[in-house]
Structure 1
């Protein structure tokens, strides 16, 4: 009986010493390994290779984040770059565009959160109650909105080509970038822009008359 106990003890000792997670080999994983980050010169070099054209993925995201935060797209992008070059650490292996998108998201979220806090504070301190629009004012706003929508429809006039050009101009595109976005060539783009200008001049006359009549 004693021998059996001794045998079991030896087996247990052998089993424990053979465990790969014991001693110096205990539970080392990639999660606990030190993460590597880009150096500042590497960050500058990565930023220098980014596509900053108006229709690039990064610039589209900058315009979206700026819209949600109520600021300028160039401002939020420049602030993201500044933080990346100074106070942020960019993990190695992550595309710089994606890192900057994350920084812009953080900036926009902070601005929105601060705005909500400020609005809540002012409303609480001043006991402000937002009054609804007067019926006449609400009617005027609705009429003007309808007029502008109709004016835009008159400019586009059911043309998919003109609609793409107008959409591209709204995104800040011009030249070859605008032609590529509108899926046309430079010569055709010039013709379309002339047509747009003629139609805009026509609808502007009607909008001015509407403003004078108000």
Structure 2
């Protein structure tokens, strides 16, 4: 049951033995290891330490000596060198940095754009990169429509299709209005109304939505 149903979830209750262990071990033990010893989560350890006013001692669990800033930096550099030589796994900071750099690779960006395109609807977007008003827009969706001339067209990115095929609409229907980040026109809103998830329009000025799958059409 959830809180919205009027029933509160059971809260973690600290025993005196756990509090004693927490007080003794917190200054010289990592939060992850301490959470395993006590049987709770790391966030619970952090909150309880704050409530008890506990702080890390900065003393090495191996040597028993306090670690200076220079000493900590030396250890960090040593871990990085060991990782480059294949002797150790990378430290968390290096792993995070590698993930950030990997996320910028073109093949990773293209894969994310393809996944987003399959689930997100096309909208007017900014005119650069994956947010461009083009077929490669990360949020673009495939539409199939029946024109007033009874021609079936399939295209990707509704706004891009309208910009590239203004001759299919009245001049007043392809006048784009602000805001600059999400411009709109009557044709864009009219065609989009055919594909709304709730209460879609049956037609707009003779245009109709087609549910069946047809060969792809590339707007030119």
Bigger-Rg structure (1/2):
1
Q: Which has the higher contact order (CA 8 A, sep 6+)?
A: 1
Could you say which structure has the higher helix fraction? 1
Q: Which category describes the TM-score, using the shorter chain as reference length?
A: under 0.3
Give me the TM-score of the superposition, normalised by structure 2.
Answer: 0.16
